Amino acid sequence: MKGISKKEIKVISRLEFDNTYFFTSGYIDKFSDNKTQRYNIIKNLIRKKRIVKLNRNKYYLIPIKARTGNWTEHPYLVADEIFEGDGYFIGGWAAANYWRLTDQIPMRSDIWTTKRQGKAEILGIKFQFHRTTNKRVEESVIEKIGEHPFRIQSKEKTKKWMTKRM
């Protein structure tokens, strides 16, 4: 693991002090004089494995207590932050496990979205993105983990999805 500069320590400690683990690149503006410096701070922290890029503008801070740089977060919260709370829902076996329709813990989280498709591994969590419509997204329900809301397929629709798989 590479050393962390004074400026990077300021950024990390401020994020941890504020309990802000999900943040945008705009948050780094407080610590930089211009766009180039902001870009370099972010690039270096990613290279040093202190932050993880979630989407074009959003990042996740790996806490200092994760000395080796490995850290994980709840998959539903990561999915919500990737899509900024809009245009997605969690479905498939992840939803079945959430609604206690199955005892098996899914190996990946299936996310239906209007924005992207494909596979990704973020913070050690495997995501499979599927394309869907706005209508199906609006039919999903909003649940909470702690104070953090996320979108998930309704229990009835998940039961219907499971009967097709059995």
Asked if 55 and 90 sit in the same domain, the reply is: no
Which parts of the chain fold into alpha helices (H)?
6-17, 35-47, 75-82, 92-98, 134-138, 155-165
Q: Are residues 156 and 99 in the same domain?
A: yes
pLDDT class for 3, splitting at 50, 70, 90? confident
Residue 43 lies in a domain: yes
Question: Is 33 domain-assigned?
Answer: yes
Cα 3 → chain centroid: 26
Residues 46 and 122 in one domain: no
Strands 58-61 and 88-91: unpaired
- Domain span including residue 133: 75-165
- CATH number of the domain that residue 55 is part of: 1.10.10
**Within a domain: 133:** yes
Please tell me whether residues 118 and 82 are part of one structural domain.
yes
Rounded to the nearest 5 degrees, what angle is found at the Cα of 89, between the Cα atoms of 134 and 72? 145
**Same domain assignment for residues 29 and 92:** no
Whether residues 88 and 29 share a domain: the answer is: no
The total domain count for the chain is 2
For the segment 52-65, what is each residue's pLDDT rounded down to a tens digit? 999 888 999 988 77
Q: Are residues 55 and 113 in the same domain?
A: no
Q: Is 46 in a helix, a strand, or coil?
A: helix
Same domain, yes or no: 86 and 159: yes
- What is the Cα–Cα distance from 67 to 148, expressed in whole angstroms? 26
Q: Is 70 a member of any domain?
A: no
Q: Are residues 156 and 95 in the same domain?
A: yes
* Residue 67 belongs to some domain of the structure: no
Give tens-digit pLDDT for 100-159: 999 888 999 999 999 888 999 988 889 999 999 999 999 999 999 888 899 999 999 999
pTM of the model: 0.79
Condensed to tens digits (0 to 9), the pLDDT of residues 21-45 reads 899 988 888 888 899 999 999 999 9
Q: Are residues 136 and 79 in the same domain?
A: yes
- Average pLDDT of the chain, as a whole number: 88
